[in-house]
Structure 1
C-alpha cells in the first residue's frame, strides 16, 4: 500500500509529459540514485519512450523495457524498487556500483525478473528470504558484497534457478543441505565466505544438472561425500583451501564430464583412488598440499591431462612411463615429493609440454630426448635430484626455453653448443654437477640471459669474450671450475651486472680497464686465481659495491685509497703481494683478517709490519703505565665521591651496559657510537612504532636507525605467534640475504630501548618520492626497474625462503630506494613465517596492513597467505603507472583499484596513465598495468604467484626503449575475472 501511495505522490510531482509509463518509472529510478558521473543524463522526459536511452533495451514490437545494464556507472543509493513496476523487465545488471543498504522483501515484487546481478556493491544485512518468490529467476549474482548471516533454508525453494553466486561475502552459518533441492541448478558458487566449520552437505549430490561447484575457502571440514560422484554433468569441482580430511572418494572417478578438479590445500590423506582413467575429459588435476601417500596410479597417466599438480604432498614411488601418452599435457609439476626412478623416455613427445618441474625428489637417469618435441617447452626445472648423463642435443634446438635449472644433480659431459645460445632463456643454472668442456661462443645468441650460474663443475678453457654481449646479464657465477686465461675486457660493457663471482679457477692477468661502467655491481669475488697487477683506483667509484673479495691472488702495489668511498659488507684482500700503507678507514683491528698475508703492507695492525712493532710496543706500554698511575691517584683521593656517583652512573648507563648488541653482517663501525646520534635533529621519519634517525658515523658511513621505545606493540596476536614487531623484524631480516631486501646491519635490545640499524637509503621511500613534488624524477624506465626489483624481493620471500615469509604490509612507503633508485623491500614488523606458500593460511585476530593495500578477502576473513601480499603489490604497480596514491579524495568512496578499473572502462587508458610519463612508453606501460590488474583480482585464486609476476614483468619490458604509439583498444579487465588457470598459482 505504501509503495503504491509513493508512486501516486511522485506522479503528481513530475510534470506532464508524452513519455510512456515505463519511461516514467525509470525517471523515478533515476531520482532515487546518485549519479555523480552523469551516466544517466540521456534519461530525459523529452522522448516518448526510453528505448533510445543509454543502457536500456526494449522489445522492438511493444517498445516495453526488457533489460537494464547499469554496470560500472558509480551509481549510489539503495536498490531502486521502482524497477519492479516494469512488468516486462527480465534482466537487471547493477554490477560494480555503490548500491548500499540492504535488500528487503520488496524485491519479491520483481516477478518478471530472470537475471539479477548486484555483485560488487555495498549491500549489507542478511539475504532476503523473499528471493525464492521470484519464480522466473534463473541467474542470481550477489557476489562481492557484505551480506552476513546464514544462507536461508528457503533458498532451496527456487523454481527455475540455474546460476547462483554468493562468493566473497561475510556469510556465516554452514552450507545448507536445502540447496540440494534446486534441481535446475547448473552453477553453485559459494567460495570465500567465512562460514562456520561444517561439512559438505551430501544433498548436493542431488543436483544432477550441476556443471560447476565452487566451494573454495568455505571452512569446510570432514570428508568429501561419496554422493558428489552422482554429478555426471559436472565440469569444474573446486573444494580447495578448506580443512577436508579423509581420503579422496572413489566415487569422484564417476565424474565423466569433469575437466578440472581442485582439492589443493586441505588435509586429505590416503592414496589416489584407482579408476581415474574413467575421467577422460580431465584437463587439470590439483591435489597439492595435502597428506596423500602411495604412488601415482598407472590409470592417471592415461588421461588427456592439460595440467597435473602433485607438489608438496608425501607421495613415494616412481613416475609411470604411460604418463608420456597424455596428448594434452602442458604443465607437469611434481616438486617436493619422494618420487624416484627415471622420467618417462617419451615425455613430451605426444603433448605440447610447456612447464616441467620435478625438483626436490629422488629422480635419476637421463633427461628424456623428447621434452621439447613440440617446440613449446618454457621451463625445465630438475634441481636437487640424482639425474645423470649428458644434456640431450635436442634441447640445444629448443628455442622456446626461458628457464633452465639443473643444479645439484650428477650431470656430466659437454653442454651442447646450441644449448648455450638459446635466444629466449633468461635463467641458466647448471651449478653443482660435473659438466666439462668450454663455454661456447654461441652464448652471444642468448641475448635475453639475465642469470648465468655454472659454478662447481669442471668447465675449462678461456671465458669467451661474447659474454660481454649479453646486455641483460645481471649475475655471472662461475666459481670452482678450471677456467684459464684473462678476464675478458668485454665484461666491463655489462652495465646491468650486479654479481660477478669467479672464485677458485686458474684465471690470470689483471682486472680489466674500464670497470667504472659497473654502476650496478654489488658483488665482486675473484678469490683464489692467478690474477696479478694492481688493484685499479676505479674500483672505489662503484656506487653499490658491497662485497669485494680479491684474496689468494698475486695483486701488487698499493691499496687504493678510494676503497674508503665504498660501503662494504665484505672486504678481503688477504694473501696477495700488496704493499704500502693501509687506507686510514681500514687501519683497525677488526679489518686485520682482510689484509693478512701481504708482507709488504705497513700499518698499526699486529703482524702486518713486524719491523715497526717493537718501538710502537714501547710507546703503548708507556701510555698504559701513565694511565694506571693516574687511575690510582684518582681512586685514593675520590673513593667516597666515586662510590655514590657510580651508583647514579650505573642507573643512567643501564641501557648501554646491559645492551645486547647483535650483528648480522660484518660492520665497520662501533655499535655504541650510534647512541650519541639519536637526537631530534637527526630524525628523518616517525610512525606508530617509533622514530627513524639518520646517523652519519665517524668513519663516514651513513646508517638508518629505527628506535622502538618500550615494549613494542604486538602487531599480531594469532595463536601461532606472539612475537612483537622488534622480534619479527630481527627474526626475518637477520636471516635474509637478497639484493632487493633492505639489510639489517645489527640490533640492540635492552628491554627499555630497542634499536634496529639498517643500511641507509638516500632516496627514501617510493611512496614519499612518487607522491611528492619530486615525482617527476621517476621516469618510466626507473619506475619499471623499481617494480621489478620489489617483485624479485617479494618472490624471494615467498618462494626461496624456507619456510616462506608473508610480508603482510606491502606498500610504496615500505619500498626504499638507494642512490641509483634500486628498490629494497623494508619494514618486516608484521611479517609472518608460514609453513608453505599457499598452505600457510593463518587466521589473524587483527588486520595488518595499510588502508588501500589490504586484499578484500583479508579484510573480512582475516586469513593470511601470500595472495594478500600479491594484491598489495598490485596496488603498488597501479601507483607507479598512475602516479596516484591508493586512497584519494578524488576517488570518492573508491580506492585506487576500483578507480583504475572504472576509468579504463569509461575513458580509456590515457586517463589512467600518469601524465608525467613519456607517451612513447605507452605499450610497455600498458603491459605492466595489465600485471597490476591481475595482481589485484578480487578473488585470490585469480592472482598470479610472485614468481609468475616477476616473469610477466620481465616479459613486458622492451628494454626501456620508447616505442611508437599503437592503437589504444580496451585493456583486458582482470579485476572482475575469475581466473581458472592454476598454472599461475605455482
Structure 2
C-alpha cells in the first residue's frame, strides 16, 4: 500500500512538472513572438512572462482541459513588425489570425511547420515578396489560408497542389502574376478559391470539374484569357462565380446550366459573345446576374422571367437589339428585383406602363438605348427607387406629375431626350433628391417656386431647354449645391444672392440675356453697362454643343470676366506668397541650416534624441552620400508643388531618391497621427505608383523619401519636348493605362489622390507611368478645402466641380474626374484650360463639342495625325469624357476604367 502511494506521488509530480513545462513553452513562445512586434496601443500589455499560463491573455484561447493554447486572434490591433519563430513552440496551436494590422516582411515559411495549424489568416497587412515554395510543401493539417490585401508578388507556388486537406485559400488584392498551378483542380477538399485583383494570366484548363465540393470561385480582375471552363457545370454546389474583368472570350459553356444552386454569377467586362442561351432561366437560385460590358447580342431571353429570386440583373453595355421586354415589367418578375440595368444597348420601343409593379426596385437604368414614347405615370409607384436614368433616348411627352410618388428618389437623369411641358411641381415631394439632370430637352414654363424645398440638391442641370420666368430667390438657401446649370433657356430677372450663387460659374448662365445681377455684370431692371464686343472669329467651346442642339445664338463675351478672374488670382497669389514667407521665416535655425548645408548630420543622428527627429525607412538602410548630393541641397532641387519642394539625392549604394520637404508643417496633424498616415502610405506598392521609401519627422520639419523616377513628368513629355520627339500613340495609350491602374490600386486601398495633374505623373525609363504625390492631404487634420485648394491651385482644370462645396463629401470620383481631363490632355496635347486673346478654351467642352459635331478626330494632337488607330483613339476620348462628367455618379470606378481600356486596345495593333 505504501509502495502504491509512493508511486502515485512520484508519477503525479512528473505529470505536474510536465504540464508546467508545457505551460512555460506556450508562455515563452508567445513572449518570443511578441518581441518581434510593435504594439503602439499597448493591446498586448496583459502578456507577461511571469504568468504560469497565457490563457487569460488578450487574443489567446486555450483548451479548457489541457490549458494549452489552441487559438490566437490579434485582428485589427495596429500591430507592426514581423512574424517570428516564437509561434513554433505552440505545439497545439490550431488558429492564427493576425488580419488588418501593419505587419511587414516576407511570409514566414516555417509557420506551416506548426503541426496542428488549421487556419492561418494574415490578410490586410503589408507582407511583401513571393510566397515561399516550401510554405505549401509542409502544409500538414492546413484547411484555410488567407494572404488577401497584402503586397505579395511573384507566382503561386506549385507546392500548393500538394495541400490535399486545403478547403479554402484567399490571395485576393495582391500583385501575384503567372498562372494558376494546374494541380489545384485535383484538391478535392477545396470549397473556396479567391484570387481576385491580381495579375494572373493564361487559360483556365479543364479540370475544375473535379472540385465537386467547390462553393466559392472568384477569379475576377486578372488577365485570364481563353474560353470559360467547359466542365464548370460539374461543380454542382457552386454558390458564387466571378470571372469578371478578364479577357475571356467565346460563348457561355453549356455545362453552366447545371449550376442550379448558384446564387451569383458575374461575367462583367470580358469579350464573351453570342446569344445568351435560354437555359439561363433554369438557374432558379440566382439572386445576382451580371453579363455587362461584353459582346452578347440578339434578344434578351424570355426565360430570365423564371428567375423569381433575382435581386440584381445587369445586361448593360452589350449589343442586345430587342423591343423592351414587357415580361420584365410583369407581376411575375416583381418579387425581389432591386437592380435593373439595361443601359447602352439597342433596345427600342416604349417603357411598359406596368413599370410600377417592380415595387422593390432601387436602381433603374435604361439610358443610351432607342426608347420612345412617354415616361409611364406608374413611375410614382416605385416607392423604394433611388436612381432612375433614362438619358440619351428619344422619350417625348412630359415628365409625369406622379414622379412625386417616388419618395426615396435620389438621382433622376432624363437628359438628351425630347421631353416637353413643365417641370412638375410634385417633384418637390422627392425630398431626398440630390441629382437632377433634365438638360437638352424641350421643357418649358418656369422653375417651380417650391423647388428650393429640395434641400438635399447637390447637382442640378436644366440647361438647353425653353424654361421661362425668374429664378426663386430661395435657391440661395440650398446649402448642399455644387452645380446649378441653367444656360441656354429664356429665364429673366435677378439672380439669387448668397450661398452657391455667389461663386456660380458664368458659363452656367450663358444664353439667358435677360438675367441680371452682379454676377452677370448686368444691372436690374433695365440699366446696362456699355456693351462688350465679342470677336466674331472666336468660339465659346462651352456653348458649342448646346447651340447645335437648340440653335441658340451666343452674344456674350467673356474677355472682361477673364481680366477680372486674372486680377483675382493675382491678389490671391500675393496673399498666399506673403503668408508662406511669414511661415518660412518662423522655421527654426536648425531647419534653415539643414536646408542650406545638407541634412546628413540630422539623418544619421540617433533617433532617440528629440533634437534630431526620427528617420524611418520602409525598405533598406538610410545611408546617404555626403557633400554635393546631400539632402535638401539647393543645387539638387528638381521641382516644387503645393505641398513642398523636391530634391534629388543619392544613397551610398548608388540608388537615387527624391526628397520632398513639406511646406504644410503648421497645418498637419500631430507627429503621431502624421506618422501613422505616412506609414499607411508606405505600405502602398504598385508598379504604377511612386513608392514612398521612408520619412524624417520633427515638429518643425517633415521630409518624405520617395522613389526617384528618372525620365521626368508627363507635363515635360507633352508640352516641353521638341516636336520631333513627341510621344507616339502607343506610348500615350500605355501612359493612360498606367495612370488608370495606379489610381485603381489607390482606391482599392481607400486612398484618394486629391491632386492629379501632369507634373504628378512621372515616366520611368521604360515609358511606364507612375502616379506620385498621392494621399498627402491625409496629413491635414481635416479636409480643409480652402487650405487644400490653395495648395493645389496649379491643378486648375483637373479639380472636380463638387470640390467647391464644403458640405459635399469628397470621394474617389474626384480622382476619376481629374483622370478624365488628363486622358483628353494626353490625346490632344492641349492643356485643360487655355487662355486666348478674347476667349477661354476649356478642353472638356471643346472635345465634347467636337464629338457632337462628328469632328472628334480633329482634336487629336496634330503630331499624331495619320499615325494612330482612329477607332481606338475615339474610344479613349469618349472614355475620357465620361470620366470627366459633371455628375459624380455618372463617372465609372477606376477598376471599370482599367478594364474598358484593356478592351479598347487591340493586342495585335502595332501602330505607334
TM range (shorter): 0.5 to 0.7
CA distance in 2, matches of 1:768, 1:417: 42
SS in 2 for 1:245: strand
* Residues 948 and 433 of structure 1: CA distance in aligned 2, closer, same or farther (over 3 Å): closer
Are 2:347 and 1:346 equivalent residues in the alignment?
no
Cα distance in 2 for partners of 1:490, 1:496 equals 10
Note closer, same or farther for the CA distance 1:170–1:370 as it changes in structure 2 (3 Å cut): same
Aligned to 1:279: 283
Change beyond 3 A, Cα 1:456–1:802:
farther
Against the structure 1 CA distance between its residues 458 and 157, is the aligned structure 2 distance closer, same or farther, given a 3 Å change threshold? same
Partner of 1:140: 145
Deviations 1:395-436 (A, max 9, x none): 123232222221221223333221256322232222222333
1:93 aligned residue:
97
1:794 aligns with 2:815: yes
Alignment partners' CA distance in 1, 2:451 and 2:182: 63
Deviates more, 1:560-569 or 1:367-376: 560-569
Deviations 1:568-608 (A, max 9, x none): 99xxxxxxxxxxxxxxxxxxxxxxxxxxxxxxxxxxxxxxx
Name the SS for the 2:354 alignment partner: coil
Q: Which runs of 5+ in 2 are unaligned?
A: 1-19, 532-540, 545-551, 569-635, 649-657, 659-714, 740-753, 759-772, 790-801, 834-841, 844-875, 892-912
1:301 CA drift (Å): 3.7
1:317 equivalent in structure 2: 322
- Which of 346, 364, 370 is the aligned partner of 2:378? 370
Q: Give 1:188 deviation, angstroms.
A: 0.7
* SS of residue in 2 equivalent to 1:346: helix
Q: Secondary structure at the match of 2:566?
A: coil
- Which of 452, 470, 491 is the equivalent residue of 2:460? 452
1:257-296 matches, within 5 Å, as 257-296=261-300
- Alpha-carbon contact 1:302-1:326 (below 8 Å) kept: no
After TM superposition, the structure 1 = structure 2 runs for residues 635-654 of structure 1, keeping only pairs within 5 Å, are none
Match of 1:532 in 2: 526
1: CA distance between counterparts of 2:554 and 2:887?
42
CA distance in 1, matches of 2:409, 2:732: 42
Q: Is this contact kept in 1: 2:466–2:490, CA < 8 A?
A: yes
Partner of 1:856: none
Contact 2:32 2:86 in 1 (8 A): yes
Bigger mean CA deviation after superposition, 248-257 or 712-721: 712-721
Pick from 243, 247, 251: which aligns with 1:239?
243
CA distance in 2, matches of 1:300, 1:525: 58
Q: In the TM superposition, what is the alpha-carbon distance from 1:320 to its structure 2 partner? A: 0.8
Deviation at 1:711, TM superposition (A): 5.4
With over 3 angstroms needed to count, the CA separation of the structure-2 counterparts of 1:35 and 1:718, relative to structure 1, is: farther
- Which residue matches 2:160? 155
CA contact (8 A) 1:261 1:285 kept: yes
Q: Select 2:732's aligned residue among 721, 738, 742.
A: 721
Matches within 5 A, 1:400-439: 400-420=408-428, 422-439=430-447
Provide Cα deviations, 1:726-753, integer angstroms capped at 9, x if missing partner.
xx9xxxxxxxxxxx99999xxxxxxxxx
Q: How does 1:471-550 map to 2 (within 5 A)?
A: 471-483=479-491, 486-487=493-494, 494-495=501-502, 497-499=504-506, 501-504=508-511, 507=514, 511-512=516-517, 515=518, 524=520, 532-535=526-529
Give the 5 Å matches for 1:738-887: 778=787, 785=806, 793-797=814-818
- The CA distance in 2 between the partners of 1:190 and 1:769, in whole Å, is 30
Matches within 5 A, 1:354-393: 354-393=362-401
Q: Which has the higher contact order (CA 8 A, sep 6+)?
A: 2
CA positional deviation for 1:46: 2.2
TM-score under structure 1 length normalisation: 0.54
For the 8 Å contact 2:443–2:466, the answer to whether it is kept is yes
**CA shift digits 1:40-82 (9 cap, x unpaired):** 4432232221112222111222211111123345656664344
1:191 counterpart residue number? 196
If the length of structure 2 is used for normalisation, what is the TM-score? Answer: 0.58
User: 1:473, 1:494 within 8 Å by CA — same for their partners in 2?
Assistant: no
The Cα of 1:253 is off from its aligned counterpart by: 2.8
The whole-number CA distance in structure 1 between the counterparts of 2:315 and 2:504 is 37
User: How many matched pairs?
Assistant: 624
2:255 corresponds, among 251, 254, 277, to 251
Show the counterpart of 1:220: 224
Match of 1:181 among 165, 181, 186: 186
Query: CA offsets per residue over residues 216-274 of structure 1, 9 Å max, x none?
Result: 13321110122111222212111112111101223223212222211112111111121
Q: Is the 8 A contact 1:140 1:164 kept in 2?
A: yes
Contact kept in structure 1, 2:208 and 2:229, CA below 8 Å? no
Q: What residue is the counterpart of 2:405 in the other structure?
A: 397
In structure 2, relative to structure 1, the CA distance for the partners of 1:162 and 1:366 (3 Å cut) is: same
Hey, what's the Cα distance between the residues in 2 that align with 1:152 and 1:687?
Answer: 41
What SS is found at the alignment partner of 2:327?
helix
Aligned CA distance change for structure 1 residues 146 and 458 (closer, same or farther; 3 Å): closer
Render the CA deviation track for 1:615-658: whole Å, top value 9, x for unaligned: xxxxxxxxxxxxxxxxxxxxxxxxxxxxxxxxxxxxxxxxxxxx
Q: 1:21 to 1:430 in 2, by over 3 A?
A: closer
State the Cα distance separating 1:343 from its structure 2 match.
2.2
Alpha-carbon spacing, 1:59–1:192, altered in 2? closer, same or farther (3 Å): same
Q: What residue in structure 1 maps to residue 708 of structure 2?
A: none
- TM-aligned CA distance change 1:483 to 1:491, over 3 Å: farther
Instruction: Report the Cα distance in structure 2 between the residues aligned to 1:563 and 1:173, rounded to whole angstroms.
Output: 55
Aligned residue for 1:581?
A: none
3-state SS of 2:281 partner: helix
Is this contact kept in 1: 2:39–2:78, CA < 8 A?
A: yes
Cα distance, 1:554 vs structure 2:
12
Query: Could you say if the C-alpha distance between residues 341 and 38 of structure 1 is closer, same or farther in structure 2, counting changes exceeding 3 Å?
Result: same
Distance (Å, rounded) in 1 between the aligned partners of 2:25 and 2:289: 54
C-alpha separation in 2, matches of 1:286 and 1:155? 31
User: Secondary structure, in 3 states, of the residue corresponding to 2:169?
Assistant: strand
CA distance in 2 between partners of 1:815 and 1:503 (Å): 20
Classify 1:771/1:795 alpha carbon distance in 2 versus 1 (closer, same or farther; 3 Å): closer
8 Å CA contact 2:511, 2:554 repeated in 1:
no
Question: CA deviation digits over 1:173-209, x for unaligned, max 9?
Answer: 42123212222221111223323x4211321122122
Partner Cα separation in structure 2 for residue 166 and residue 207 of structure 1: 19
Q: In structure 2, do the counterparts of structure 1 residues 951 and 564 end up closer, same or farther at CA, with 3 Å as the change threshold?
A: closer
Distance 1:42 1:251, change over 3 A: same
Distance apart, 1:333 and its partner CA: 2.1
1:67 maps onto 2:71 in alignment = yes
Q: Which runs of no fewer than 5 residues in structure 1 stay unpaired?
A: 1-15, 519-523, 538-545, 570-679, 691-704, 729-739, 745-763, 808-813, 817-824, 827-864, 870-944, 954-986
- The more displaced of 459-468 and 51-60 is 459-468
8 A contact 2:244–2:269 mirrored in 1: yes
What secondary structure does 1:389 align onto?
A: coil
Q: CA RMSD in A?
A: 5.3
In structure 2, C-alpha distance between the alignment counterparts of 1:783 and 1:355, rounded to whole Å: 28
Q: Distance in 1 between matches of 2:71 and 2:310?
A: 41
